[in-house]
């Protein structure tokens, strides 16, 4: 399944290269809502909330009330997750809040199990999507600025009991329009019993079809907004 993405920054819909360089921006929120109206799922990320420099809550509520959104960005507490679900989100995407950089490097040692368990118990496992982002073979958090001493495979194994789904982003390919790494994605798929959605550089219909055949959904942003992928 193809899941289009909507990233929000400073009240606009944007697409960034490697999470930093602005490549696409649009203020036509209604237009993109209409374009994505027939999709069974849409990914909605508040980049400002993720970076801790504000929120786009009004836009999140507007979009989530009209589209079947999985919402992420700055979900660091059970209360925040509950608020987003109350605003219309079908599920919340949680990344950095699951990890603690102060813990040991042993497998799963950086996982905040108490928080993950509390979130699962409060909102239900099917409403929790664990975001595991990988760069250079290591999990990265805090807007991809902090590398952890575990791999994506180790992370999903450790979080498997708390998440109904995982979102794996292959950051090395993110926004570059050069294709993704299916081998790395498949390794993550094999490490978890939960459903997997992949992101990061997915550009062609062939890639989407390949992932679909493996039972993996595909999040696509840049290729849609630039018109490289005709959907």
Three-class HEC string of 130-167: EEEEEECCEEEECCCCEECCCCHHHHHHHHCCCCCEEE
Interhelix angle 78-86/113-123, nearest 10 degrees:
30
Averaged pLDDT for residues 44-61: 93
Residue 104 has pLDDT above 80, yes or no: no
Q: Which of 46, 48, 133, 217 is catalytic?
A: 133
CA dist., res. 37 & res. 64, Å (int): 11
- CA 131 – CA 99 distance, rounded (Å): 11
Region 129-148: mean pLDDT is 92
Position with higher pLDDT, 176 vs 86: 86
Q: What is the C-alpha to C-alpha distance for residues 15 and 25, in angstroms, rounded to an integer? A: 7
How many Cα atoms are found within 13 Å in the side-chain-facing hemisphere of 145? 5
Check residue 87 and give its pLDDT. Answer: 93
Distance CA 18, CA 31 (A): 25
**How large is the average pLDDT for residues 117-124?**
98
The two tokens of residue 188 are 């993550």
Mean per-residue pLDDT, 9-21: 86
pLDDT for the residue 139:
95
Q: How far apart are CA 95 and CA 117, in angstroms?
A: 14
Q: Is 7 a catalytic residue?
A: yes
List all residues 6 or more positions away from 139 whose beta carbon is below 8 Å from its beta carbon: 99, 132, 133, 147, 148, 150, 151, 152, 154, 155
Specify the 3-state DSSP secondary structure of 11: coil
Active-site residue among 7, 46, 48, 217? 7
Asked if the model's pLDDT at residue 222 lies above 50, the reply is yes
Query: Could you give the domains of the chain?
Result: 2-225 (3.20.20.70)
pTM of the model: 0.93
41/109: higher pLDDT:
41
Distance between CA atoms of 216 and 197, rounded to whole angstroms?
A: 6
User: Is residue 106's pLDDT more than 90?
Assistant: no
Q: Is the pLDDT of residue 121 over 70?
A: yes
- Mean pLDDT value of segment 4-27: 89
Please compute, for residue 219, the number of CA atoms within 13 A of its CA located in the half-sphere on the CB side. 27
Active site annotation includes 133:
yes
């Amino acid at each position: 399944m193809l899941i289009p993405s909507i990233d929000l920054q400073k009240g606009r819909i944007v697409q960034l290269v490697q999470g930093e360089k602005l490549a696409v921006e649009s203020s036509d929120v209604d237009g993109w809502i209409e374009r994505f109206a027939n999709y069974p799922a849409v990914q909605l990320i508040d980049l400002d909330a993720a970076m801790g420099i504000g929120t786009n809550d009004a836009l999140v509520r507007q979009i989530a009330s009209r589209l079947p959104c999985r919402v992420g960005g700055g979900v660091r507490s059970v209360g925040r997750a509950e608020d987003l679900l109350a605003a219309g989100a079908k599920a919340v995407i949680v990344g950095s809040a699951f990890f603690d950089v102060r813990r040991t490097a042993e497998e799963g040692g950086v996982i905040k199990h108490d928080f993950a368990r509390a979130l699962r118990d409060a909102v239900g496992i099917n409403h929790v999507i664990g975001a595991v982002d990988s760069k250079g073979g290591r999990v990265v958090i805090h807007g991809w600025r902090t590398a952890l001493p575990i791999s994506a495979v180790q992370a999903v194994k450790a979080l498997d009991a708390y998440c109904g789904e995982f979102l794996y982003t292959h950051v090395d390919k993110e926004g570059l329009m050069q294709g993704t790494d299916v081998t790395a994605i498949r390794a993550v798929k094999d490490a978890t019993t939960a459903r997997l959605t992949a992101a990061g550089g997915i550009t062609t219909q062939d890639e989407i079809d390949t992932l679909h055949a493996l039972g993996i959904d595909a999040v696509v942003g840049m290729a849609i907004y630039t018109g490289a992928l005709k959907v």
